[in-house]
């Protein structure tokens, strides 16, 4: 897998909502009127008031907390013995966060390098010599006047971030708030991303919703346990160095919330300890059920037949009860965020029932959606169901939703504000491999589930493990919001076309072994050539590069359109070009892309730097002419948004376009096959997904023929 370049995804970013009170001993975070000690400067994280002490060692020397605790709220409620057992593992056996203290801080490139690189990237979009010289003058003016002032401010800001007790990198707060939490469009379909799991080899399990859901939950809980004990391998491959794993601490027991201390202009995130809440939420027919998956008496997760029993109970209750109408609450999470914030405030104001039910969802480990009404078969149907569902049977604010359909088709929907793609990819790979390989006899597995369900001796057990349906009080005005959520969903989904390009002629193995070129750079050439064939020109193209080699690093932009790529697509489409000219232009474009990818992964890209400089402009100050320039803004409008996350365990992965006039291309490069999920709004972008699908195949075939003649 080419993990380094694609930890992911496009824009929209992650978390912060906690307000700190500093003194010499501790920092306190306030959330909904409750107070808890978040990070102790002594050596431990400890809870206050009636909460039990939980001790978590931190690296104070560099203030880089191995568990990624800074900025999160934790409540401890269980007995001391429970926490002591959980934290009894010796440090040398904990591997997930072992590199955190060694990671360098995210750098800030020099102003000169960024401006020089910027001029290179806009060359393909310059229409005349006059326009080119105008751009040079704009850059020189910025480099001489506002640029150094803003650069100095940004460097000072970086130093303050690094030296603070919270020890953020300089980009995080700006990126998380402006890219994600202040973003007002619905997060589904516009922000969240999805995976479609390959079918399991165990057909009896694969084709049954409850058998499949039980197996999936069992293996997700196993991953949760590994996360608790810090047993997740920090580096996906031996070829990648030390990476930041802060995101692994944000997977479970948390939620995005359309509320920030009364402010209505952005969301927040609430976090709970991964050791605290031993339950998950199951969504069935638009209702939400709390099921316990942790045995607190024995400090272990429950057995698989106990999970199965609770799922059976939900299905039987939800099917037989004629009054069991959908609450409709899930539809609210399809609203534009500014509207959802208003609905959330009304839903929870002076209503402890609604408030408590929402908090149960928020602090649960994760959500499982049982889509009994859906039986997707084609790749497009599976992708759509994992991506946006039916507009009812989801709670899109949760970071992780696992979806299982009536025919056993499964997938995962990930909310993007806390995590980029790599952590969720590793999680889904883990559970798929465990589901597909760890069952020696599926008949015995099924019999093990069913025999306990039919055992009359479990009457006491059954009484104590009933799933709890979360109640909601729906006022007429809230019902209007729910109806609006459904209408918003219908409109957004109907505006989108989705087409899957699944290509089996060759894959990573041939690209690397036979042609000796970068698979990621290769697929970017396929994309550039296909777009050029389709619209007759190149469009500004975003590719996500991972910056996880830095502390709390997330992503940087790879600008895939370069002078070399421009020459490549022109040469390739000219009938007079020779075989050698095409080949030379291809290799030059690949080398240029590979070099840009390395720069971006090393924190030397230009787009996050420009973003930081813009945030140093004082309110009321004049915006530099460079930042107002039409070409400057056009070159960073991502009409083609791309990102790679590759896995042999998936048959689908994707998200939406970033710009309404563009296209989203999420791709996988596997050993023997290539895969691109194509999404666009055709009425706005004028992009025909079927034609783009055709040109992707034509471009891949042409490159294959040329490279095989070497």
Task: Give me the mean pLDDT over the 484-510 stretch.
Answer: 98
CATH of domain 206-238+249-494: 3.30.559.70
- Which pair of structure tokens corresponds to residue 150? 């803003």
Answer with the residue of higher pLDDT: 618 or 25.
618
The answer for residues whose C-beta is within 8 angstroms of residue 512's C-beta and 6 or more apart is 519
> Position of tokens 């009938």?
575
294-295/300-301 β-pairing: antiparallel
Above 90 in pLDDT, residue 701? yes
The answer for residues whose C-beta is within 8 angstroms of residue 428's C-beta and 6 or more apart is 195, 197, 412, 647, 649, 650
For 500, which DSSP code? Answer: E
Share of the chain above pLDDT 90, in %: 71
431 vs 340: CA distance, rounded Å: 33
In 3D space, the residue among 86, 103, 54 whose CA is nearest the CA of residue 550 turns out to be 103
412 in Cβ contact with 630 (< 8 Å): no
Above 80 in pLDDT, residue 163? no
For position 534, what pLDDT does the model report?
98
pLDDT tens figures, 259-318: 877 677 899 999 988 888 899 999 999 999 999 999 888 889 999 999 999 999 999 886
301 in Cβ contact with 293 (< 8 Å): yes
Above 80 in pLDDT, residue 62? no
The answer for residues whose C-beta is within 8 angstroms of residue 102's C-beta and 6 or more apart is 242
For 263, which DSSP code? Answer: B
For position 34, what pLDDT does the model report?
28
Handedness of CA 436, 441, 443, 445 (dihedral sign): negative
CATH of domain 111-164+498-707: 3.30.559.10
230 vs 648: CA distance, rounded Å: 25
Task: Give me the mean pLDDT over the 522-543 stretch.
Answer: 98
Beta-carbon count within 10 A of 31 CB: 18
- Average pLDDT of the chain is 85
Max mean pLDDT range (156-165, 325-334, 460-469, 557-566): 557-566
Q: Facing residues of 367 across strands?
A: 281, 401
pLDDT tens figures, 557-607: 999 999 999 999 999 999 999 999 999 999 999 999 999 999 999 999 999
Q: How confident is the model at residue 108 (pLDDT cuts 50, 70, 90)?
A: very high
Above 50 in pLDDT, residue 59? no
Least confident of 16-25, 237-246, 562-571, 675-684: 16-25
pLDDT tens figures, 620-647: 999 999 999 999 999 999 999 999 999 9
333 in Cβ contact with 492 (< 8 Å): no
320 in Cβ contact with 362 (< 8 Å): no
For position 559, what pLDDT does the model report?
98
Residues of the chain with CATH 3.30.559.10: 111-164+498-707
Distances (CA, A) of 516 to 280, 504, 582, 673: 47, 19, 17, 17
Distances (CA, A) of 481 to 244, 403, 503: 40, 25, 43
Answer with the residue of higher pLDDT: 390 or 5.
390
In 3D space, the residue among 169, 212, 134 whose CA is nearest the CA of residue 548 turns out to be 169
Length of the chain in residues, anyone? 710
User: Would residue 564 be called left, alpha or beta, if left means φ above 0 and alpha means ψ between -120 and 50 degrees?
Assistant: alpha
3 state SS of 566: helix
3 state SS of 137: helix
Above 90 in pLDDT, residue 199? yes
Handedness of CA 367, 373, 375, 380 (dihedral sign): negative
- Which pair of structure tokens corresponds to residue 284? 């069935």
Q: Of residues 18, 416, 675, 693, which has the active-site annotation? A: 416
3 state SS of 514: helix
pLDDT tens figures, 68-107: 333 333 333 332 222 223 333 346 678 888 888 889 999 9
Considering the entire predicted model, what is its pTM?
Answer: 0.86
Above 60 in pLDDT, residue 16? no
538 vs 4: CA distance, rounded Å: 25
550 in Cβ contact with 103 (< 8 Å): yes
Cα-only R_g, the chain? 26
User: What's phi and psi for 81, nearest 5 deg?
Assistant: -60, -35
Answer with the residue of higher pLDDT: 350 or 325.
350
Answer with the residue of higher pLDDT: 692 or 710.
692
Answer with the residue of higher pLDDT: 604 or 15.
604
- Which pair of structure tokens corresponds to residue 543? 């590719």
- Which pair of structure tokens corresponds to residue 347? 């839903």
Answer with the residue of higher pLDDT: 90 or 180.
180
For position 92, what pLDDT does the model report?
65
For position 317, what pLDDT does the model report?
80
For position 463, what pLDDT does the model report?
52
Q: Facing residues of 420 across strands?
A: none
- The torsion angle over the Cα atoms of residues 314, 317, 321 and 325, rounded to 10 degrees, is -10
Q: How confident is the model at residue 166 (pLDDT cuts 50, 70, 90)?
A: low
121 in Cβ contact with 635 (< 8 Å): yes
Query: What is the residue-wise DSSP string for 384-439?
Result: HHHHTTTSSS--TTSSEEEEEETTS-EEEEE-TTT--HHHHHHHHHHHHHHHHHS-
Above 70 in pLDDT, residue 3? no
Above 70 in pLDDT, residue 240? no
391 vs 333: CA distance, rounded Å: 9
370 in Cβ contact with 283 (< 8 Å): yes
For 260, which DSSP code? Answer: B
Residues of the chain with CATH 3.30.559.70: 206-238+249-494
For 704, which DSSP code? Answer: H
Answer with the residue of higher pLDDT: 50 or 290.
290
C-alpha 232: how far from chain center: 18
Least confident of 6-15, 399-408, 568-577: 6-15
User: Would residue 85 be called left, alpha or beta, if left means φ above 0 and alpha means ψ between -120 and 50 degrees?
Assistant: alpha
Q: Is 416 a catalytic residue?
A: yes
């Amino acid at each position: 897998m080419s993990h380094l370049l694609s930890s992911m995804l496009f824009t929209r970013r992650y978390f912060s909502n906690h307000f700190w009170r500093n003194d010499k001993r501790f920092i306190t975070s306030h959330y909904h009127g409750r107070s808890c000690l978040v990070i102790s400067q002594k050596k431990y994280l400890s809870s206050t008031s009636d909460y039990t002490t939980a001790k978590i060692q931190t690296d104070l020397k560099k203030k880089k907390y191995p568990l990624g605790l800074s900025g999160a709220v934790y409540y401890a409620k269980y007995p001391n013995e429970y926490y002591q057992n959980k934290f009894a593992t010796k440090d040398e056996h904990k591997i997930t966060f072992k590199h955190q203290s060694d990671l360098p801080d995210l750098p800030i490139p020099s102003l000169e390098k960024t401006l020089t690189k910027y001029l290179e990237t806009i060359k393909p979009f310059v229409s005349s010599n006059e326009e080119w010289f105008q751009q040079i003058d704009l850059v020189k003016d910025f480099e001489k006047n506002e640029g150094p002032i803003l650069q100095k401010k940004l460097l000072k800001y970086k130093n303050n971030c690094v030296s603070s007790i919270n020890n953020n990198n300089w980009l995080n707060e700006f990126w998380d708030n402006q890219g994600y939490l202040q973003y007002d469009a619905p997060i589904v379909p516009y922000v969240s991303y999805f995976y479609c799991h390959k079918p399991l080899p165990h057909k009896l399990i694969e084709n049954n919703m409850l058998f499949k859901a039980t197996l999936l939950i069992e293996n997700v809980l196993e991953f949760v346990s590994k996360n608790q004990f810090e047993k997740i391998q920090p580096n996906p491959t031996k070829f990648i160095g030390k990476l930041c794993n802060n995101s692994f601490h944000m997977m479970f027991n948390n939620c995005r919330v359309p509320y920030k201390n009364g402010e209505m202009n952005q969301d927040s995130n609430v976090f709970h300890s991964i050791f605290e809440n031993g339950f998950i939420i199951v969504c069935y027919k638009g209702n939400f059920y709390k099921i316990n998956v942790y045995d607190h008496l024995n400090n272990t997760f429950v057995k698989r037949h106990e999970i199965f029993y609770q799922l059976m109970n939900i299905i039987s209750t939800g099917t037989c009860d004629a009054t069991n109408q959908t609450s409709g609450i899930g539809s609210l999470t399809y609203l534009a965020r500014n509207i959802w914030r208003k609905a959330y405030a009304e839903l929870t104001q002076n209503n402890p029932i609604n408030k408590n039910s929402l908090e149960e969802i928020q602090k649960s480990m994760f959500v499982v959606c049982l889509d009994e009404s859906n039986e997707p078969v084609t790749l497009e149907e599976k992708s759509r169901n994992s991506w946006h569902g039916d507009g009812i049977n989801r709670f899109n604010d949760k970071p992780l939703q696992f979806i299982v359909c009536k025919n056993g088709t499964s997938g995962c929907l990930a909310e993007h504000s806390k995590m980029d793609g790599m952590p969720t990819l590793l999680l889904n790979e883990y559970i798929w491999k465990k589901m597909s390989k760890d069952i020696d006899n599926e008949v015995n597995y099924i019999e093990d589930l069913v025999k306990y369900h039919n055992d009359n001796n479990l009457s006491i057990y059954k009484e104590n493990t009933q799933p709890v349906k979360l109640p909601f009080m729906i006022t007429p005005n809230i019902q209007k919001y729910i109806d609006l959520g459904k209408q918003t969903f219908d409109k957004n989904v109907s505006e989108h076309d989705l087409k899957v390009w699944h290509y089996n002629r060759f894959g990573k193995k041939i690209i690397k072994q036979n042609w000796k070129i970068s698979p990621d750079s290769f697929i970017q050439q396929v994309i550039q050539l296909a777009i050029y064939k389709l619209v007759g020109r190149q469009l500004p193209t975003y590719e996500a590069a991972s910056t996880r080699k830095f502390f709390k690093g997330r992503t940087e932009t790879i600008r895939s359109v370069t002078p070399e790529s421009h020459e490549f697509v022109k040469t390739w489409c000219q009938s007079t070009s020779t075989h050698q000219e095409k080949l030379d232009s291809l290799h030059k474009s690949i080398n240029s892309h590979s070099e840009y990818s390395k720069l971006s992964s090393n924190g030397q890209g230009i787009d996050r730097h420009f973003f930081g400089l813009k945030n140093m402009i004082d309110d009321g100050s004049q915006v530099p002419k460079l930042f107002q320039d039409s070409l400057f803004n056009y070159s960073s409008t991502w009409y083609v948004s791309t990102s790679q996350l590759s896995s042999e365990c998936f048959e689908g992965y994707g998200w939406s376009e970033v710009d309404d006039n563009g296209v989203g291309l999420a791709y996988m490069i596997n050993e023997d096959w290539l895969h691109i999920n194509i999404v666009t709004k055709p009425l706005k972008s004028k992009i025909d997904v079927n034609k783009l699908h055709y040109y992707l195949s034509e471009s891949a075939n042409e490159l294959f023929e040329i490279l095989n003649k070497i």
